[in-house]
Amino acid sequence: MLDFTFNIPTELYFGRDQELEVGRILSKHGAKKILIIYGKGSVIKSGLLAKVKTALEEENITYLELSGVEPNPDVSKVKEGLALIRKDPVDFILTIGGGSVIDTGKLISTAYFYDGDPYDISLKKVEATNRIPLGVILTISAAGSEMSTSSVISNSETLTKTGYNSPYNRPVFAIENPELTFSVSPYQTAVGVVDILAHTFERYFNPSSEFELSDGFAEGLMRKVIAAGKVAVEDPTNYEARATLMLASSLSHNGLTSIGKNSYMPVHQFEHIISGYYPNVAHGAGLAVMIPAWMEYYRKIDPKKFTAFAKNVFDYDSGDDLDNGRYATITLKSYFKSLGMPISLKELGIGALDLKRFAARLTNDGKKKLPHHIKPVDNQVAYQIFELALEE
Amino acid sequence: MLDFTFNIPTELYFGRDQELEVGRILSKHGAKKILIIYGKGSVIKSGLLAKVKTALEEENITYLELSGVEPNPDVSKVKEGLALIRKDPVDFILTIGGGSVIDTGKLISTAYFYDGDPYDISLKKVEATNRIPLGVILTISAAGSEMSTSSVISNSETLTKTGYNSPYNRPVFAIENPELTFSVSPYQTAVGVVDILAHTFERYFNPSSEFELSDGFAEGLMRKVIAAGKVAVEDPTNYEARATLMLASSLSHNGLTSIGKNSYMPVHQFEHIISGYYPNVAHGAGLAVMIPAWMEYYRKIDPKKFTAFAKNVFDYDSGDDLDNGRYATITLKSYFKSLGMPISLKELGIGALDLKRFAARLTNDGKKKLPHHIKPVDNQVAYQIFELALEE
């Protein structure tokens, strides 16, 4: 894969050593003083942060730092960042990391212009109306937040995890060097592969015409990610596999695979209940459990698209139109297992006792129905889907 | 397909009645006085031009008009447009039509800032350094010029047809209403389908890794276009098929299916020789002849990607690894035929006597080799490929 610049409108700088350009890219966008956000120190150990600081200093860009963002990032870290830049304002935010770091930056960047509780924006009580521009140096291929309009933040006080979309969330640029992901562990790589597939998969199963171009893109993307994911887990320094996952991460969630389609993502809402209660569960692991369960429920009602999925994505043609789409679930579970992913709630340490409160939380105690074109999710459907996830 | 806005960075306004927004879109981009460019009057007959003028007047945008652009557009029309706006300057160019109209507009928009012969830019003797911003209302799904950086213009004095690429060629916006293509004839629809496939096909056959994401997109796009193309030829008012072709036209040539790949397009250079000599040959018809010939030559030397093409795009799995990729040519020729396209030079009225001068023109009398990763095209290879195109 050659290096390239792409614009959607996030500018994508992709390829070896691209992180060394961060100073020039920020300067081009007029940044003078920025807030750098990162996680738990791997960017220090790897030397990436030092390289970034050198690049900033070469362009006379000064910076504040907010570190220690955790997976399933909490709104308390957003508040910490806001306090920092309210005292000492910045004109740009640079996030170095994956979805957790980027999403923390996104909520800081919009909540800066809102005086109330920043979580009001996550809960869609108020809309974002402005933002501090934000850029990304990506270090893990997973969430797709580097090109997306969404941000997902947890609230440990209320055990809530929720996402919101806003055009103000779209990063100005993303810098992607696949080599920066060589050190991502096989488990975290697999978690990322599931997340990328999930973004694509959810869009794919929304209603579409038989000629839907975005479905063609989605099938192509899933095929390539499935192949590259297996290789990256087994051979972490395979540049081509890492590059495919990194680009797919961005293109799986920027709207391309749902262009001209609804981009509603029901399975993510199921997963957010799980990692909302249990923040130790990686988002991708929760998805690996919930996707097949969701699929198993809906394929029995309307198998057509599930049969196409097995054929066009996994090359699995049963030659049997009456298979009721069951190979979709079988092939997908088998793939997730081959990556070392859990495929049941039990493997996540979650038992039958949780199902009722999960379903109640998802449907707001039965008062809310989640829309779905095959069958909306009421309290009973939610319970049945969580139940299908219980055991392998 | 739902309506949407997309940015790559061309803003894409897609869906029913979107052309009525043209005044507001131009105003948003600061246009006050524009040059409208169109073809031979079908936009008058259909009422589209009148609608556009009303939309402009509502926003107090004034306009000049340049009409009569022909297929395989000639540089003389570019000069006519330049004379017009040099006397009476404009701040925006609005092209209403397909590739010929858009490409004429593009060369006017960049040559405005160059005092010499505008064709110098097409011949890459000088580089474009600026442009008058340009927008598109698309009326035929084919060339992909509405989102691309390329412009192809003919010169009837020298029997030359050549394309150049420049970031200044990228339209600011494209307005795409699939209903505007309902009236495109089956033949012109088929010509467009071949053109869309050719843009994708050429990128696909450039070198790539086994996980190449853009190849996944290319395969997905070709599958959907092949299905939609057949339907649009037979059922011209099928909205979904027309919408797929329209979106695919734009996404086939904006760089998405070559992201991270070389975007070299060798077959187009063969075709430009044909329609350079014979401007009555539609570009897509010339491509329908030259693609299978080109394929037939290269698949014998290195069949691997051609076998994958037959399988992943046409679902044709011979089950025989030793097929030497011949099903790629067979399936593609059969598809082009089913659209009513010519698949030989003879059908275009071109005989064996032309082959020698075609090959000489392509290779600059044997002094130039066209690069190709399997085998570069010298005078002899060029001749052999034209010869393969002679008969079905």
> Is A220 close to B224, i.e. CB distance below 8 A?
no
pLDDT, one tens digit per residue, over A36-67 is 999 988 999 999 999 999 999 999 999 999 99
Out of A145, A180, A215, a domain closes at A180
Among A124-128, A259-263, A333-337, B194-198, the least confident range: A259-263
3-state secondary structure of A134: strand
Of A257-266, A371-380, B132-141, the poorest mean pLDDT is in A257-266
Q: B5 in contact with A at a CB cutoff of 8 Å?
A: no
B224 touches chain A (CB under 8 A): yes
User: Same domain, yes or no, for B230 and B336?
Assistant: yes
Query: DSSP per residue over A280-313, as a string?
Result: TS-HHHHHHHHHHHHHHHHHHH--HHHHHHHHHH
Q: Does residue B164 share a domain with residue B203?
A: no
State yes or no: pLDDT of B370 exceeds 60. yes
pLDDT for residue A321: 63
Predicted pLDDT at B322: 62
The answer to whether B241 contacts chain A (CB < 8 Å) is yes
Q: Are residues A174 and A196 in the same domain?
A: no
Asked if B243 has any chain A CB less than 8 Å from its own CB, the reply is yes
Return the pLDDT at A25.
95
CB < 8 Å to B5, chain A: none
Position B113 pLDDT exceeds 90: yes
Mutate to test the interface with A, among B213, B234, B259 (most CBs of A within 10 A): B213
Question: Can you give the pLDDT at residue A256?
Answer: 86
Tokens 């858009």 sit on residue: B102
What is the DSSP pairing of strand A62-66 with strand A33-37?
A: parallel
Hey, are the CB atoms on B224 and A247 less than 8 Å from each other? Answer: no
| Residues of chain B positioned with their CB less than 8 A from the CB of A218 | 220
Which chain B positions have a beta carbon within 8 Å of A256's beta carbon? 256
Q: Cα–Cα distances in Å, from A273 out to A202, A246, A269?
A: 17, 27, 7
- Most distant CA pair in chain A, distance: 66
Mean pLDDT of chain B: 93
Residue A213 contacts B, CB cutoff 8 Å: yes
Is residue B380 scored above 50 in pLDDT?
A: yes
What average pLDDT does the segment B196-208 reach?
Answer: 94
How near does any CA of chain A get to the CA of B28, in Å?
A: 17
Q: pLDDT digits over A204-214, tens only?
A: 999 999 999 99
Give A-chain residues touching B244 at CB under 8 angstroms: 209, 211-213
Under an 8 A CB cutoff, do B220 and A218 touch?
yes
Q: Looking at chain A, which residue has its C-alpha nearest residue B231?
A: A211
Cβ-proximal residues to A350 (8 Å cutoff; 6+ apart), any chain: A274, A278
Whether chain B has a CB inside 8 Å of the CB on A113: the answer is: no
Nearest to B1 among A4, A209, A247 (CB): A209
User: Complex ipTM, two decimals?
Assistant: 0.91
**Closest by Cβ to B244, choosing from A7, A8, A211:** A211
| Among chain B residues, CA nearest to A219 | B220
My answer on whether B168 and B211 are in the same domain is no
* Inter-chain Cβ pairs, chain A and chain B, closer than 8 A: 118
* pLDDT at A1 exceeding the cut of 90: no
Q: Which residues on neighbouring strands pair with residue A160, listed in sequence order?
A: A155
pLDDT at residue A6 in the model: 33
pLDDT in tens, A62-101: 999 999 999 889 999 999 999 999 999 999 999 999 999 9
Does B236 lie in the same domain as B309? Answer: yes
Closest chain A residue to the Cα of B219, Cα to Cα: A220
- Asked if residue A46 and residue A90 are part of one domain, the reply reads yes
For residues B217-242, give the mean pLDDT: 97
- At residue B241, the pLDDT reads 97
Report the alpha-carbon distance of residue B22 to residue B58 in Å, rounded: 10
Residue of B nearest to A14 (CA): B260
Residues of B in contact with A243 (CB under 8 A): 209, 211, 260
- Report CB contact under 8 Å: A219, B215: no
Average pLDDT, chain A: 93
- Considering CB atoms only, which of A2, A241, A255 is closest to B211? A241
Q: Which residues contact B16 (CB under 8 A, 6 or more apart)?
A: B3, B177, B178, B179
Query: In the predicted model, is pLDDT for residue A164 greater than 70?
Result: yes
- Is B227 in contact with A210 (Cβ distance < 8 A)? yes
A212 touching B, CB under 8 A?
yes
Q: Which residues of chain A have a CB within 8 Å of the CB of B219?
A: 216, 220
| CB pair distance less than 8 Å for A218 and B219 | no
Of B180, B212, B235, which residue is a domain's last? B180
CATH value at residue B325: 1.20.1090.10
Shared domain check, A190 and A154: no
Q: How many domains does chain A have?
A: 2
Query: Which positions in chain B touch A18 (Cβ < 8 Å)?
Result: none
Under DSSP, is residue A65 helix (H, G, I), strand (E, B) or coil?
strand
Which of A157, A180, A203 marks a domain boundary? A180
In chain A, what residues touch B221 (CB-CB under 8 Å)? Answer: 213, 216-217, 220
Interface check A79 vs B, CB under 8 A: no
What pLDDT sits at residue A5? 35
- CB-closest option in A208, A217, A227 to B217: A217
Are residues A168 and A52 located together in one domain of the fold?
yes
- Looking at the structure, tell me whether residues A27 and A174 fall in a common domain: yes
| B211/A228 touch (CB, cutoff 8 Å), yes or no | yes
Contact list, A241 vs chain B (CB under 8 Å):
211
* CATH number, domain containing residue B42: 3.40.50.1970
Alpha-carbon distance values, B363 to A349, B220, B368 (Å): 68, 34, 5
pLDDT digits (tens, 9 = 90+) for B141-150: 999 999 999 9
Q: What is the pLDDT of residue B324?
A: 86
Read off the pLDDT of residues A258-315 as tens digits, 9 standing for 90 and up: 899 887 889 999 999 998 899 899 989 999 999 999 999 999 999 999 999 999 999 8
* CB contact residues (below 8 A), chain B span 248-277, against chain A: 248, 251, 255-256, 259-262
Mean of pLDDT values over B264-280: 91
Does B210 contact chain A (CB < 8 Å)? yes
Q: Are residues B193 and B163 in the same domain?
A: no
Question: Is A215–B212 a contact, with Cβ atoms under 8 angstroms apart?
Answer: no
Lowest mean pLDDT among A247-256, B35-44, B97-106, B339-348: A247-256
Measured between beta carbons, the chain A residues lying within 8 angstroms of B261 are: 1-2
Same-domain status, A78 and A8: yes
Domain of residue A77 covers 4-180
Nearest Cα of chain B lies from the Cα of A166 at a distance, in angstroms, of: 14
- Is B311 touching A (CB cutoff 8 A)? no
Q: Which pLDDT score is estimated for A322?
A: 62
CA distance to partner chain B, nearest, from residue A220 (Å): 4
Same domain, A284 and A383: yes
Substitution target in B13, B141, B211 with the highest count of A β-carbons within 10 Å is B211
Are B221 and A213 within 8 A, CB to CB? yes
pLDDT for position B6: 33
- Nearest chain A Cα distance for residue B21, angstroms: 18
CA distance B167 to chain A (A): 12
Q: How far is B272 from B358, CA to CA, in rounded Å?
A: 10
- Candidates A148, A211, A234, A251, partner chain B, best to mutate (most B CBs within 10 A): A211
Considering only A4-13, A41-50, A325-334, B354-363, which range has the smallest mean pLDDT?
A4-13
Contacts 24+ apart (CB under 8 A), A352-358: A352/A387, A352/A390, A354/A277, A354/A386, A355/A383, A355/A386, A355/A387, A355/A390, A356/A383, A357/A277, A358/A273, A358/A274, A358/A277, A358/A382, A358/A386
Question: Which of A213, A262, A317 to mutate to probe the B interface, most B CBs <10 Å?
Answer: A213
For residue A340, give Cα distances in angstroms to A90, A299, A379: 42, 25, 31
